Amino acid sequence: MAATARSWLGFQLARRRLSAKPYYSARYSTSSYGPKLHREIGVEDEEVPSSGISRPLSHILKDLSKKVPQSLIRLHAESSPPAKYIPWHTLNRILNLHAPEWSGEVRSITYSTDGKSVSVVYRITLYGTDAEIFREATGTAYVDEGDPVQEAETKAFGRACARFGLGLHLFHQDS
């Protein structure tokens, strides 16, 4: 009886993997940006995770630690000297590609006592077949920067990604 149940379960899992669509299918994307991102970061279509948790955490972390292609990096023109950064939506897509079961959450929002700045703590959790791990980071923005909470969250998200190695090379470049 147990052997029959295991073979049925194995069959169902194999059927699910074969029928799953990649995350960048037309249902989730309005453009061909998904395949373009795959080409730019050197991922073949056969390597794209199709559903669920598919790899050990060590493999996910290794992929996230790779250097991000120059074509995905932008410059903050208003800073002096111009600072390089990876847009939050690109970081999000890279996480979706290499760690499809990741999650992120704002842990706290704190305004300074003088009311001139706001800080956000953001947590990213990665789930692998063998473990899960989280990293937190803080981002701060001044209240005169448009939407300071959104700006602080964006900074915190980018720094939390860097704690997993994603885009970390931008923080250690010589000027």
In a domain, 45, yes or no: no
CATH number at residue 155: 3.30.390.80
pLDDT for 65 equals 94
Rounded Cα gap, residues 111 and 117, in angstroms: 6
Q: Domain tally for the chain? A: 1
Contact predicate 122/156, CB 8 Å: yes
20 belongs to a structural domain = no
Amino acid letter at 61?
L
Which amino acid, one-letter code, is at 172? H
**Residue 138: strand, helix, or coil:** strand
Domain extent, residue 160, equals 33-40+54-170
10 assigned to some structural domain = no
Tokens matching residue 23: 């995350």
User: Which pLDDT value is given to residue 120?
Assistant: 98
- In the beta sheet, which residues pair with residue 139? 120
- pLDDT of 173: 63
Does a structural domain hold residue 3?
no
Digitized pLDDT (tens) for each residue of the chain, 175 residues in all = 445 444 545 544 444 444 443 333 333 333 344 566 666 665 555 555 544 557 999 999 999 999 999 999 999 877 778 889 999 999 999 999 999 989 999 999 999 999 999 999 999 999 999 999 999 999 999 999 789 999 999 999 999 999 999 999 888 765 4
**84/171 Cα distance (integer angstroms):** 9
Give one word for 29, left, alpha or beta, with left for phi > 0 and alpha for psi -120 to 50.
beta
Ramachandran region of residue 115, left (φ > 0), alpha (ψ -120 to 50) or beta? left
Q: Output the six-digit token pair for 64.
A: 């996230």
Phi, psi values for residue 75, rounded to 5°? -115, 135
What is the rounded distance in angstroms from the CA atom of residue 28 to the CA atom of residue 95?
15
Query: Which residues make Cβ contacts (< 8 Å) with residue 103, sequence separation at least 6?
Result: 124, 125, 127
* Residue-level pLDDT at 83: 86
